[in-house]
Amino acid sequence: MKLIKPILLMLCFAALTAGRTAAPNYGVGDTVADFKLKNVDGKMVSLSDYKSGKGVIVIFDCNTCPYSKAYNDRIIALNKKYAAQGFPVITINANDPSDSEGDSFDEMVALAKRKKYDFPYLVDETQNVARAFGATNTPHVFVLKNEGGAFTVAYIGAIDDNARDASSASKKYVEDAVDALLSNKAVPAAKTRAIGCGIKWKNA
């Protein structure tokens, strides 16, 4: 009988730690917790800074992945097209720079300057935001809809269906999702997948 208590405690502990290591990730319709990360200009940016808009296009991205390079101009174009309509882009780099040298903060600053980013490029040093979202690869898009100050996930996945060439894409998933949200329609494809570089996790 005396043994039961410590065993129970151990089981509780095991359950708790298991819950912590399992990746909590957002599905379509889930409400997103606020986050606050450092931008390439040194200032902190929070999701809650965007409460006056219609939503946000959050993109987990990086400097080094060939898919990120292939989609870089398309990401810049997304912000150009949708920021004015209430859906600005926020990019977040979660790659561990000790595993991916070209993803250091200095390199991020250089890329944002070179490509004249007019949107945040945030560093997720602890990787907690990428883990919370369940981001797996780069670029990985989460379109968030602002519902009275609470951001909910409306789309998860790729930018379009042709990594090689933007002009050959037959489906522009993110544009289709945001256009649908802007006209109060259902998002046609709420979840898509694409080949990409896995996020460089710490101690992976």
User: For 115-153, where are the alpha helices, taking DSSP H only?
Assistant: 128-133
Residue 9 beta carbon to other proteins: minimum distance, rounded to whole angstroms: 30
Query: CA-to-CA distance for 102 and 151, rounded, in angstroms?
Result: 31
Give yes or no for residue 146 binding other proteins (CB under 8 A): no
Q: Between residues 46 and 168, which has the closer beta carbon with respect to other proteins?
A: 168
Binders of other proteins: how many residues, by CB under 8 A? Answer: 28
Residue 105 zone, left/alpha/beta (φ > 0; ψ -120 to 50; rest): alpha
Q: Binding segment for other proteins among 36-44, 116-124, 133-141, 178-186 (CB under 8 A)? A: 133-141
Query: CA-to-CA distance for 173 and 78, rounded, in angstroms?
Result: 12
Query: Considering only residues 164-183, where is the footprint of other proteins by CB under 8 A?
Result: 164, 170-171, 173
Task: Pick from 136, 152, 166, 176 the residue near other proteins by CB under 8 A.
Answer: 136
Residue 130 beta carbon to other proteins: minimum distance, rounded to whole angstroms: 12
DSSP code string of 26-86: --TTPBPPP-EEEETTS-EEEGGGGTTSSEEEEEE--SS-HHHHHHHHHHHHHHHHHTTTT
Give yes or no for residue 97 binding other proteins (CB under 8 A): no
Are 90 and 120 in contact, with CB atoms under 8 Å apart? yes
Give yes or no for residue 104 binding other proteins (CB under 8 A): no
**Angle, vertex CA 135, rays to CA 76 and CA 48, nearest 5:** 65
Q: Between residues 29 and 66, which has the closer beta carbon with respect to other proteins?
A: 66
Q: Which two tokens stand for residue 34?
A: 């606020």
Query: Considering only residues 26-65, where is the footprint of other proteins by CB under 8 A?
Result: none
Give yes or no for residue 72 binding other proteins (CB under 8 A): no
Q: Which DSSP letter does residue 183 get?
A: T
Residue 196 beta carbon to other proteins: minimum distance, rounded to whole angstroms: 6
Task: Pick from 24, 29, 66, 188 the residue near other proteins by CB under 8 A.
Answer: 66
List residues binding other proteins (CB under 8 A). 66-67, 70, 100, 136-137, 140, 157-158, 161-164, 170-171, 173, 189, 192-201, 204
